[in-house]
Amino acid sequence: MRLFLCEKPSQGRDIAKSLGATKRGNGYYEGAGSVVTWCIGHLVETAPPETYDEALKKWSLQALPIVPQEWKMIVKKSTASQFKVVKSLLSKATELIIATDADREGEMIARELVDLCNYRGPIKRLWLSALNDASIQKALSQLKPGHETESLYYSALGRSRADWLIGMNLSRLFTLLGQRAGYQGVLSVGRVQTPTLKLVADRENQVKNFVPVPFWDLDVILQSESGGVVFAARWQCPEDLADEAGRCINQADAITAEQQIRNAAQATVQQLKTERKKEQPPLPYELGELQKICSSKFGLGAQATLDTVQSLYETHKIVTYPRVDTGYLPENMHSEAPAILRAMLQSDSQLGQLMTQCNSELKSPAWNDAKVTAHHGIIPTTEVAELSKLSQAERGVYDLIKMRYLAQFFPPHEFDKTEAIFTAARYTLKAVGKKIVVPGWRITLLKNNENKDQDGDSASKDDDAGQELPQLTEGHACPVIDCRIDAKKTKAPALFTEGTLIEAMKQVSRYVTDPRLKAKLRETTGIGTNATRAGIIKSLLDRKLIAQKGKRHLIAASEAHDLLAAVPAAISNPGTTAIWEQALDMVESGELTLDDFVSKQSTWIGNIVEKYQNQPFNIKITTEKTPACTLCSSPTRRRKGKNGDFYGCSKYPDCKGIVNIEPKKKTTRK
């Protein structure tokens, strides 16, 4: 029996339909010589500590560190029935086709079942980038040998075990130390969670402690040599009067310059430099960039963006696989461009004018096999989108994706950038101008004749000029029409939004000072992965370690600041986590074995436990005032139950006393 193992039911349904396996069974489809079944995410999970030793149910410092000698997996209760289906089918299979998501986590979802169910038959890998029928048929004709992707499993398993070791040991360690100091809550510590929390807390501290510094700009309004055309040049503050950023920090200096330039009445052109520049279209989206843009443009959170693009991929089948970390495309996919562009036009007739101007034979730098990883950028599929069936969020995200793709078939944006240096009195002025020569791909940013950037990005690094300079000649003078002093203040960095936090997690090297570590971090994917970052942020929000300020910004809770002050710097240092991710990449490439990776993690955890378990823990965290246990009078903690929250004894499981929380009474207006 040829068995296809998918990641989720909808994926199984699509693949079964493409195979012609139309007969529905209990948790599977069969037909045309194949059986298609599915997981529901992870059907199994790493066993909790008490599975290894019942005594570990009770948290104690003496029991730490907890390091399994042989790792165990257990079936998740919520999906136990589907596990039975998969196990039964695996026992009958003569060939297994892994058809889970084409990434590290997808590989683990399938392979952990292969190991637990002791399947030892041949394995092949279906590597899908989209779930429309054409993509499935193409992938079916190009099945990979199972061994080619097996290392992804070891990398994912290493990540899972490292998370378990840190979460189980350090959350217990710092919670118990906190309890010894009088704190009654649970202090959660995570391999990726804690460094992410530090990013938010550090940014919040920067904003709180920021002291604005005043500075002054001086703009000089000049007229062209021939008269008529007016343009602006900016005074270049002399180095001995400026701060490190070249700003004038003394108003009197700006006033003196303004008076002398005005009295001079003219500025002489000393130097002219014009450079033709070409700007290639931006790459198709990778998930992190899409999350950042959607946060800025639509106010969508990171998880909401992921859910939306996942729906476009999985339900509507109009975009390719979204959990990707690159925007580059395989060169052989260029041949699909005419079909994709036709589908885009069929779904949206308003693209007609742009379609007449694009050239499907053009090949932008996005097509580059050398820069494609396991996945490629997010692009539309050949499916015709039924726009009326998309939600507002889905329509907005789909528009972003399709316009980025369309931009690949326009020529580069070309412009002349001119820098003009003037002297007036004894001062230097600088004017910058831009003249568009070829609009190129940037016309795709105009939608419905609105002069808006579809991406939400700034138009160009060179667009700050904002003016087209007149014809100028070196040695000639331009009359001074006016001088304007603008009083400004330096601005604090902005608090993170979910979108900018995603970017910070990716570009974590910016927040590390050690030059050697910074150099290494530039080569890694940062904190977490594109598939997990949104979930990490959501987890921090759910645990109330971070909170929203206003509509979009994020701040750290007071408990979070205290926890970060208590944990070892290596735990909260973003650089440490990024190095762990690099080690996982080494496991994937075969440079490091899974056992060696886990052994190093175990030793490191043991050293932390040994160092901290007898140290005083100074923690002052404001927590909810809870009632005493009705059985032993000990403090209680707020817990979540099937029927809502309740107060449970802090000495659980030794004492199982609870205090129910009275529901709030509804008030009615008379």
Instruction: Report the catalytic residues.
Output: 321
CA angle, residues 429, 435, 439, in degrees to nearest 5: 150
Tell me how far apart the alpha carbons of residues 57 and 654 are, in angstroms, rounded to a whole number.
Answer: 10
Contacts of 49 by beta carbon, 8 Å cutoff, 6+ apart: 56, 57, 66, 168
Buried/exposed code over 294-306 (b: 16+ C-beta within 10 A; e: otherwise): bbbbbebbbbbbb
- Name the burial class of residue 352, with classes exposed (0-12), middle (13-18) and buried (19+) by CB atoms within 10 angstroms of its CB: exposed
Instruction: Count the alpha carbons within 13 Å of 580 in the hemisphere toward its beta carbon.
Output: 27
Buried/exposed code over 360-373 (b: 16+ C-beta within 10 A; e: otherwise): beeebebbbeeebe
Alpha-carbon dihedral 17, 18, 21, 26, rounded to 10 degrees:
-50
CB atoms within 10 A of CB 213: 13
Name the pairing type of β-strands 266-279 and 413-424.
antiparallel
Given a contact cutoff of 8 angstroms between Cβ atoms, the answer to whether 131 and 6 are in contact is: no
Q: Give residue for tokens 């007229």.
A: 223
CB atoms within 10 A of CB 208: 9
Contacts of 653 by beta carbon, 8 Å cutoff, 6+ apart: 57, 58
Name the pairing type of β-strands 95-99 and 2-6.
parallel
Given a contact cutoff of 8 angstroms between Cβ atoms, the answer to whether 222 and 215 are in contact is: no
Given a contact cutoff of 8 angstroms between Cβ atoms, the answer to whether 309 and 319 are in contact is: yes
Buried/exposed code over 101-120 (b: 16+ C-beta within 10 A; e: otherwise): bbbbbbbbbbbbbbebbebe
Tell me how far apart the alpha carbons of residues 613 and 77 are, in angstroms, rounded to a whole number.
Answer: 34
Q: Give residue for tokens 């998740």.
A: 76
Tell me how far apart the alpha carbons of residues 117 and 119 are, in angstroms, rounded to a whole number.
Answer: 6
Task: Give me 331's structure tokens.
Answer: 């060169």
Tell me how far apart the alpha carbons of residues 483 and 235 are, in angstroms, rounded to a whole number.
Answer: 10
Tell me how far apart the alpha carbons of residues 36 and 20 are, in angstroms, rounded to a whole number.
Answer: 10
Name the pairing type of β-strands 34-38 and 28-31.
antiparallel
In the chain, the N- to C-terminal Cα span, in Å, equals 69
Given a contact cutoff of 8 angstroms between Cβ atoms, the answer to whether 374 and 588 are in contact is: no
Tell me how far apart the alpha carbons of residues 47 and 49 are, in angstroms, rounded to a whole number.
Answer: 7
Closest CA to 61 of 180, 167, 165, 164: 180
